[in-house]
Structure 1
Amino acid sequence: MAGLVYFRKVFEGAEAVRYAFGADPEDLPRSLTLDKGSCTSTVEDGRTDYLALKASRKINALHTESGHWPARGMSAS
């Protein structure tokens, strides 16, 4: 399955970071929150689908590489 997801950080606190994400860089209608301690994610709308998983995996990979939560990004496969 081919996929494309864009994400942008909208909030970062001491324990969590929240991202808006979606298939169109101009329209990021969904929200994903990552727990900083466990790096697990929760999707605001409850739909843990391919797009949500793809965004979560890419955000965590970028965090692992740089040590910082990315401001924005995308993943394509």
Structure 2
Amino acid sequence: MLSNIGIPGLIIILVLALIIFGPKKLPEIGRAFGQTLKEFKSSTKGLVDDEKEETVEKMAELSEDVKKA
């Protein structure tokens, strides 16, 4: 979806945002957006790490079961 915007589209969006929010609010909005993305990235990384740990634990249990058999 966003890959079809292009440079002219981005310029129009930025100009509209500047008109709507003003030059004083745009840095605050950008900062808030960046923090939101950072938190989202760290939370998804945590979920992926938890899933990897569970997979490693299951593999260890399976290998122990195979050794017992």
Larger radius of gyration between Structure 1 and Structure 2: 2
- Same fold? TM cut 0.5: no
TM-score for both structures, normalised by structure 1? 0.26
TM-score for both structures, normalised by structure 2? 0.29
More strand by share: 1
